[in-house]
Amino acid sequence: MALSDLNPVERNEEGIAAVLGILKQTLGERFQTGQAVRSQHAHTTTYIPTQAPDGVAFVESTAEVQEIVRACAAHQVPVIAFGVGSSLEGHTNAPGGGISIDTSRMNRILAVNPEDLDCTVEPGVTREDLNRHLRDTGLFFPIDPGANASLGGMAATRASGTNAVRYGTMRENVLSLTAVMADGEAVTTGKRAKKSSAGYDLTRLLIGSEGTLGVITALTLRLQGIPQAISGGVCPFPSLEAACKTVIATIQMGIPVARIELVNALQMRAMKNYSKLDYPEGPCLFVEFHGSDAGVAEQAETFGMIAEENGGGPFLWTSVAEERTKLWKARHDAYWSSLTLRPGAKGLSTDVCVPISRLAECVTETEADIAEMGLIAPIVGHAGDGNFHVLVLMDVDNPQEIALAEKFVARLNMRAIAMEGTCTGEHGIGQGKIGFLRHELGHGVDIMRTIKQALDPLNIMNPGKILPRVGH
């Protein structure tokens, strides 16, 4: 990816000035234009410069979102949806300025239907908020991307996380949603039925659209029963290849693993020091099983035998909640622990996903690239579905380091695509991955552009994201 791949967005100064005046009058103190709040609403962990919106609207209802979108459409001003800002590929940047719609105050849980295993929430509800609310019902929402992301943002980026191998991604766990489209009209994409063959699947069209087609204002989500028993632990391996072979065998044998996370030696060293873990500094798998007491014990023992056959072990597992919580907190803190490997550096986080049969090959070749280029770049992965992340630590003020990181990311993405994988398993395209979409999808990009033009003819919905420039 190079900065030249970005899809430029022209500023409409006259339109922006008009909309700023309208929103100051209609929203009062809930519309802010200060530099600090605008910078906070433009976030990226890529090397792409932060591009702040011209104003931030703190909305409280679908009707307010409609009012803002209609004003922006009338004056051809960009609209950028914002949840909590935990996305990683420049999704909330405003390359042509415009209005950031902050949905954090739309944080009501509208309905919980325990008998139907579903709930309806506003987009600003975070996954942790929802699970706290559900605790006494015996249910939980399983998607866990690591950050305490907003559910609207998770749907917009088609997020997944550590337990996608068992429970799927946001694609499988959103039954329907409500979104405000580019003309200001609100659409609800379905009912609460567990399946439907009624017309085009608008729900799946909007999930993963990154705010480029509409602003999500409500979601109906699939829930799961809290498992009777949970066990988990860590298993060391002599090599990444051995760990990956264990993952493949575990999946192929049909063991219903809930989480199976790959951590390379460098990442394990950082986690040991940061989270005070007592494990070897080598490749490891963090594993968790959900089910009955007997079931999770049997699954853990079977996994331990598979690991041993591949040279791994000992697999130390526990059903004690406090011990498991410490392990998974260490895994979720991987980003912060990685930063300690090079104090003062910034981390460029990137992800790819390949068929699990190619995971060992892809990860091994990626580690070789890291060594050859002299990078400090730990690896973690949702190994059960072939998705892994690399955090490249670099000095963002050094053009040579930026160029080297750019080269590494390009090689990684093209490697994944060549292995019949994808340039992003869960981060999304945003701005940071635009340069790889054509390589992955070919003419499919033109179909996407046709959809975008049909639903957003003025190109006001999060412009400059997902789609490359015409001709690229």
Chain position carrying tokens 């942790």 = 128
CA distance 340 to 281: 15
Task: Specify the fold of 229-335.
Answer: Alpha-Beta Plaits (3.30.70)
What is the average per-residue pLDDT within 404-419?
Answer: 97
Find, among 384, 356, 362, 168, the residue nearest to 287 by Cα. 384
Cβ–Cβ under 8 Å, residues 23 and 75: no
Tokens found for residue 187: 């659409």
pTM, whole model, 2 decimals?
A: 0.93
Write out pLDDT tens, residues 305-342. 999 999 998 998 888 888 888 888 898 899 999 999 99
CA distance 125 to 149: 9
CA distance 115 to 378: 43
Cβ–Cβ under 8 Å, residues 212 and 262: no
Q: Which 3 state secondary structure label does DSSP give 91?
A: coil
Chain-centroid distance, C-alpha 145: 6
First to last CA, the chain: 12
The ranges assigned to domains in the chain are 3-104+449-455, 109-225, 229-335, 342-429
pLDDT tier for residue 8 given thresholds of 50, 70 and 90? confident
Q: Per-residue pLDDT for 286 more than 80?
A: yes
Q: Which 3 state secondary structure label does DSSP give 2?
A: coil
Q: Do domains 229-335 and 342-429 have the same CATH topology?
A: yes
CA distance 310 to 471: 48
Domain range 109-225, CATH architecture: 2-Layer Sandwich (3.30)
CA distance 415 to 419: 6
Tokens found for residue 25: 């009058």
What is the bridge-based pairing of β-strands 316-318 and 174-181? Answer: unpaired
Find, among 229, 242, 339, the residue nearest to 285 by Cα. 242
For residues 68 and 163, the model is more confident at 68
Write out pLDDT tens, residues 334-382. 999 999 999 999 888 999 999 999 999 999 999 999 999 999 999 999 9
Bridge partners for 234 per DSSP: 286, 316
* Phi, psi values for residue 6, rounded to 5°: -65, 150
CA distances from 14 to 21, 94, 98 (A): 11, 17, 11
Q: Which 3 state secondary structure label does DSSP give 16?
A: helix
User: 3-104+449-455: what CATH class?
Assistant: alpha beta
Nearest-10 crossing angle of helices 293-309, 240-252: 140
Write out pLDDT tens, residues 96-150. 999 999 999 999 999 999 999 999 999 999 999 999 999 999 999 999 887 789 9
* One-letter amino acid of 120: T
pLDDT tier for residue 472 given thresholds of 50, 70 and 90? low
Cβ–Cβ under 8 Å, residues 286 and 257: no
Cβ–Cβ under 8 Å, residues 306 and 253: yes
- The reply to whether CATH 3.40.50.850 applies to domain 342-429 is no
> Following DSSP, what letter does each residue of 337-371 receive, concatenated?
HHHTTSTT-EEEEEEEE--GGGHHHHHHHHHHHHH
Question: Strand ranges (DSSP E) for 224-329?
Answer: 224-225, 229-236, 257-263, 284-291, 316-318
Tokens found for residue 419: 């292995």
CA distance 79 to 65: 10
- pLDDT score of 280: 86
Q: Per-residue pLDDT for 253 more than 70?
A: yes
Reported as half-sphere exposure (CB side, CA atoms, 13 A), residue 201 has a value of 10
Mean pLDDT, the chain, integer: 94
